[in-house]
Amino acid sequence: MPASTQSIREIVAIQTSAATVLQRFDIDICLHADESLEQACAGLQLSVEQVLEKLADAAASEHGAVAVDPAGYSLSRLIQHIVRTHHQYLRRELPRLAEAAQKLAGKHDPRAPEFVMIEKLVEELRADLLDHLQKEEQVLFSYIAAMDQDAKVASSPPRARFGTLAQPVSTMIREHKSAERIVAALRSLTNGFAPQEWACPVHSAFYAGLRAFEADLGQHVHLEDNILFPRALALEAELNRRGRKTKRRWQAANLYLNHAALSTKSSPPRMGRTQPHQEGRSDETLL
Ligand SMILES: [Fe+2]
Ligand SMILES: [Fe+2]
């Protein structure tokens, strides 16, 4: 957690969410880069305690996003967690990172020619992942949630326009790998997201943002590739097995009924009280 004696530059470099919090208080992170938080707040007539409190809240929610044990979650609850935590994070962070990358590339600093490529990669990541989230939420996750909700009573998986789950799941895994390759390229271009000594606070905050982004993506992909998708595929296989069993039972029942109907047709009529009386014989002799 940052201290009031730390400089704005240090604070944005160690806490990913700090730049956003400070901007909300109208603290220009470039202009006040070398001032301590205390000095910047005094100059702007802000309460340093209030700023520290907001920084602490933001740090707590950053850590809260990672400290999750999804082992006991149902598939629907796990999807809800992924969307609320990781998808929302991406929708918030990707435009922010793309904007910062554009700003830094636009400076054309001869000391950092790599920013041209960094901007391109961040933009590619933004476009690819926003499209990926939409596909997951609108197609795959809604199918898995529907399958999970009916799992106790259903005798087969819900109908899907994509055939079986294996196809969209393999597409999503391929897209995760592609996003991870882009992040690895960014890590290499930025020397492990380590800002140079001369870096301005926007530059430091951007690298801190990329580092946090890498960590969040790792957690997000782990939840989907290693927990959600294998469990959803197993449930689909279980529902298919249940469906085949039900079909076999129906076939056996139909076979029995057809056989019974045929036997009834070929047997001679049985005598009983309902048969017409035969001449010269009493009812008793027909019983
Ligand atoms: Fe996702
Ligand atoms: Fe995904």
Model pTM?
Answer: 0.72
252: its two tokens: 């056996």
Q: Which helix (H) or strand (E) holds 249?
A: helix 229-266
Closest-lying ligand to the alpha carbon of 87?
1
Ligand nearest to the CA of 168: 2
Cα(42) to centroid(ligand 1), Å: 43
- Calculate how far, in angstroms, residue 167's C-alpha sits from the geometric centre of ligand 2: 14
Question: Residue 214 Cα, ligand 2 centroid: separation in angstroms?
Answer: 14
Distance 55 CA to ligand 1 centre (A): 27
Residue 133 is classified by DSSP as: H
Among the listed residues 199, 205, 200, 207, the one whose alpha carbon sits nearest the alpha carbon of residue 183: 207
Q: Which residues surround ligand 1, an ion (CB under 5 A)?
A: 136
SS3 state of residue 74? coil
Distance in Å, CA 51 to ligand 1 centroid: 32
pLDDT at 286: 32
How far from the centroid of its chain's Cα atoms is residue 254's Cα? 45
Alpha-carbon distance of 79 to 25, in angstroms, equals 34
In the prediction, which pLDDT does 61 show?
74
Secondary structure of residue 7 in the 3-state scheme: strand
Ligand in closest contact with the CA of 137: 1
Identify the burial level of 170 via C-beta atoms within 10 angstroms of its C-beta, where 0-12 means exposed, 13-18 middle and 19 or more buried. Answer: exposed
Token pair 């296989």: residue: 237
193, 187 contact by CB (below 8 A): yes
| 94 CA distance to ligand 1 middle (Å) | 14
Tokens found for residue 25:
């208080």
The ligand whose atoms approach the alpha carbon of 172 most closely is 2
Please choose, from the candidates 178, 177, 219, 213, the residue with its C-alpha nearest in 3D space to the C-alpha of residue 193.
213
- pLDDT per residue as tens, the chain (287 positions): 789 999 888 888 788 788 888 888 989 887 888 899 999 999 999 999 999 998 888 887 776 554 557 778 999 999 999 999 999 999 999 999 999 999 999 988 888 889 999 999 999 999 999 999 999 999 999 999 999 998 777 777 888 888 899 999 999 999 999 999 999 999 999 999 999 888 899 999 999 999 999 999 999 999 999 999 999 999 999 998 887 777 677 667 777 677 777 777 666 555 444 444 444 333 333 33
Contact, 12 vs 204, CB < 8 A?
Answer: yes
Task: Provide Rg for the chain, Cα atoms.
Answer: 33
Q: Residue 36 pairs with which residues in a beta bridge?
A: 7
224 C-alpha to ligand 2 centroid (Å): 6
Give residue 268's pLDDT.
57
The pLDDT, as a whole number, for residue 68 is 59
Residue 203 Cα to ligand 1 midpoint, Å, equals: 28
Could you say which ligand is closest to the alpha carbon of residue 180?
2
8 Å CB contact between 37 and 54: no
